[in-house]
C-alpha cells in the first residue's frame, strides 16, 4: 500500500490512469492422468502475483523491472484486460478490467513481445489495416492512420513487404504501430527492445521517448530487463520479485542514490530472494 499512496501523493490527487488494488493472479497447473481420475474437480494452482497495489498517473512512464518469472508479463496482461485477476481489482481510466473489459480495450494499446502475433503471410500495411478495422476504424481514415503509423515506425518503405520477410526490429516497430492504432490513453510495452541489436534498440527507444510518449500525453507501462532502458525512458520504476511488488522508486530519486537505479534494483531483488530463502 506504500507504493499506492506514494504515487497518489506525487500526482497531487489527480485521477489515476491505472490503479491496481490487492491484485493476486494464479495459474492452474496441468493435471496428471492419475489426478484426473482420482480428483477430477480439484485444481492445483501456482500463484504468480500476490497482493500487488500500484497506481500509475496519467502521462507517467512506469518501468516494470524484475528477474525472469517475476510476473512482469502477467502484470501487463492484467492491466490490458487480457487476463482477469484471481483476486483484487484493476481499473484503467476508472473502468474495471473485468466488468468493463470493452471500455478498457478502448483505452489500452498493447505492444506484445510475441513475434507471432502478426499474420506473417500479410504485409505490414495489411496487418495494420486488419487490426485497425478491429479497433473500429474503416475506409479512408484507417488507410491514412496506417500510413501515418508506418511512417512514424520507420516502415514506410517496407509497408508492402510480407511480415515473414521483416527482421525482429521491424516486427517490433510494427507492434508499436499496431499498439498506437486506436490512439490509446495507456500503452503497454512488453520488453520492446528484446532481441534487438544495440543500434536497433537505441533507435526504438528514441521512437518510444519521442512520438510514442507524445510529450507526456500518453501513459506508458514498460516491462524491461534493462536498467539503462528504464533509466532512459521511465519516470519511475516498480520492481517485482517472486510475484510481489517489492519497491517503487522514481528514476530521479534513484539517480541521486549511492549506486543509481542498478544498485537500487539489485538491493530490492536480493532482499526479496534472501527472505524467500
Partner 1 sequence: MLASKALAFIKRDYRIESSYKFAFVFEALTTVFPLVSFYFIGRLVGPQGPGGGLARYGGQYFPFALVGIAVSQYLLLSLGTFSRTIRRSQMAGCLEATLSAQTSPQAVIVFSSLYCFATKLLHTLLVFVLGWLVFGVHLQQANFLSAAVVLALTVAAFSGLGILSAAFIVLLKKGDPIEWCIGAASSLLGGAVFPIEVMPGWMQALSVLFPITYSIEAMRMAILRGWGLEMLWKPVAILAVMAAILLPAGIWAFTAAVAQGRRDGSLMHY
* Rounded Cα gap, residues 127 and 142, in angstroms: 12
Half-sphere exposure of 16 toward its Cβ, with a 13 Å CA cutoff? 22
For the bound state, the minimum distance from the C-beta of residue 126 to partner 1, rounded and expressed in Å, comes to 6
Distance of CA 9 to the CA centre of its chain: 24
State the cell numbers at 246. 517489492
From residue 39, give the alpha-carbon distance in Å to each of 29, 44, 45, 224.
Answer: 14, 11, 14, 40
Nearest to partner 1 of 84, 275 (CB atom): 84
Choose the binding region for partner 1 from 1-9, 14-22, 111-119, 207-215 (rule: CB under 8 A): 111-119
Number of Cβ within a 10 Å radius of residue 176: 22
For partner 1 (CB under 8 A), the number of binding residues is 37
For position 275 contacting partner 1 by CB under 8 A, the verdict is no
Q: What is the arrangement of strands in the sheet containing 18-28, beginning at the earlier edge strand?
A: 45-56, 18-28, 87-92, 95-96
* Closer to partner 1 by Cβ: residue 121 or 266: 121
Closer Cβ to partner 1, 6 or 22, answer by number: 22
Closest contact distance (angstroms) between CB of 197 and partner 1 is: 23
Pick from 7, 110, 149, 236 the residue near partner 1 by CB under 8 A: 110
Q: Minimum Å distance from CB 196 to partner 1? A: 19
- By the criterion CB under 8 A, which residues form the site for partner 1? 25, 27-28, 74, 77, 80-84, 86, 102, 105-106, 110, 112, 114-122, 126, 129-131, 133-136, 138-139, 178, 182
Amino acid at each position: 500500500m506504500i507504493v499506492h499512496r506514494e504515487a497518489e501523493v506525487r500526482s497531487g490527487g489527480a485521477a489515476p490512469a491505472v490503479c491496481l488494488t490487492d491484485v493476486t493472479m494464479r495459474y492452474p497447473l496441468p493435471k496428471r492422468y492419475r489426478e484426473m481420475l482420482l480428483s477430477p474437480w480439484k485444481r492445483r494452482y501456482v500463484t504468480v502475483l500476490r497482493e500487488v497495489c500500484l497506481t500509475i498517473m496519467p502521462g507517467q512512464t512506469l518501468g516494470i523491472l524484475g528477474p525472469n518469472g517475476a510476473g512482469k508479463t502477467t502484470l501487463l496482461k492484467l492491466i490490458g484486460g487480457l487476463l482477469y485477476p484471481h483476486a483484487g481489482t484493476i481499473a484503467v481510466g476508472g473502468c474495471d478490467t473485468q466488468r468493463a473489459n470493452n471500455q478498457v480495450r478502448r483505452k489500452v494499446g498493447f505492444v506484445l513481445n510475441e513475434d507471432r502475433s502478426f499474420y506473417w503471410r500479410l504485409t505490414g500495411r495489411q496487418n495494420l489495416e486488419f487490426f485497425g478495422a478491429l479497433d473500429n476504424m474503416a475506409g479512408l481514415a484507417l488507410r491514412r492512420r496506417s500510413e501515418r503509423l508506418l511512417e512514424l515506425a520507420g516502415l514506410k518503405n517496407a509497408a508492402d513487404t510480407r511480415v515473414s520477410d521483416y527482421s525482429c526490429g521491424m516486427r517490433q516497430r510494427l507492434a508499436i504501430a499496431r499498439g498506437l492504432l486506436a490512439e490509446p490513453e495507456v500503452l503497454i510495452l512488453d520488453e520492446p527492445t528484446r532481441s534487438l541489436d544495440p543500434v536497433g534498440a537505441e533507435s526504438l527507444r528514441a521512437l518510444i521517448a519521442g512520438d510514442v510518449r507524445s510529450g507526456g500525453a500518453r501513459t506508458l507501462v514498460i516491462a524491461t530487463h534493462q536498467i539503462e532502458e528504464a533509466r532512459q525512458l521511465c519516470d519511475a520504476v516498480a520492481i517485482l520479485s517472486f510475484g510481489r511488488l517489492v519497491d517503487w522508486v522514481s528514476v530521479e530519486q534513484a539517480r541521486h542514490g549511492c549506486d543509481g537505479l542498478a544498485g537500487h534494483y539489485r538491493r530490492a531483488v536480493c532482499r526479496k530472494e534472501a527472505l524467500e530463502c
